[in-house]
């Protein structure tokens, strides 16, 4: 989407299109360069040029009610650091509870897996992340993960095998 391109938002709403913003991708390029990673100047320049445009586009889509699912395919941000996307989504205008829904239920809906994933209820796979403290403190969430359960088996935590 381009600033002022409200037609794209209207079309997304009319078609029920999901937006997976991947906000961490552009920021990841900028952060990687700042950390000394050799990024081609053209790529770095483009990231700097469009990062605020991308964020504004996301804000407008959220305000309009476009369905947002969390996900990322960022090749620059280190794998496993995608929780940063949650903080960027909140900074972009999503309520913290909506960020968690986008990360769980809406992502499952996008993948067509809402009958087995996305919420905790009987008959669904037991995929659960247990955190200590405030689950809406997205900036430090990665430091507060106590346990991870996948298909009912603890894979991270005190009882993980």
pLDDT at 126 over 70: yes
Check residues 15 and 79 and name the one with the higher pLDDT.
15
Question: What pTM does this model have?
Answer: 0.87
pLDDT of residue 3: 44
| CA 17 to chain CA centroid, nearest Å | 16
Q: What does the pLDDT look like over 17-64, one tens digit per residue?
A: 999 999 988 888 898 899 999 999 999 999 999 999 999 999 999 999
φ and ψ at residue 147, rounded to 5 degrees? -155, 155
Question: Beta strand pairing status for 18-19 and 67-68?
Answer: parallel
pLDDT at 114 over 90: yes
φ and ψ at residue 108, rounded to 5 degrees? -65, -40
Q: How confident is the model at residue 74 (pLDDT cuts 50, 70, 90)?
A: low
């Amino acid at each position: 989407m381009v600033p002022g391109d409200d037609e794209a938002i209207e079309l997304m709403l009319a078609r029920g299109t999901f937006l997976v913003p991947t906000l961490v991708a552009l920021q990841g390029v900028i952060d990687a360069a700042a950390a000394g990673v050799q990024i081609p100047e053209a790529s770095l320049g483009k990231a700097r040029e469009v990062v605020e445009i991308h964020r504004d586009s996301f804000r407008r889509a959220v305000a309009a009610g476009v369905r947002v699912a969390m996900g990322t395919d960022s090749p620059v941000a280190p794998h496993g650091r995608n929780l940063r996307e949650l903080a960027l989504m909140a900074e972009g205008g999503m309520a913290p509870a909506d960020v968690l829904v986008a990360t769980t239920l809406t992502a499952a809906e996008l993948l067509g897996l809402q009958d087995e994933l996305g919420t905790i209820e009987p008959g669904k796979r037991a995929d659960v992340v247990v955190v200590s403290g405030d689950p809406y403190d997205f900036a430090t969430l990665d430091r507060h993960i106590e346990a991870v359960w996948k298909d009912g088996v603890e894979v991270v935590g005190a009882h993980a095998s």
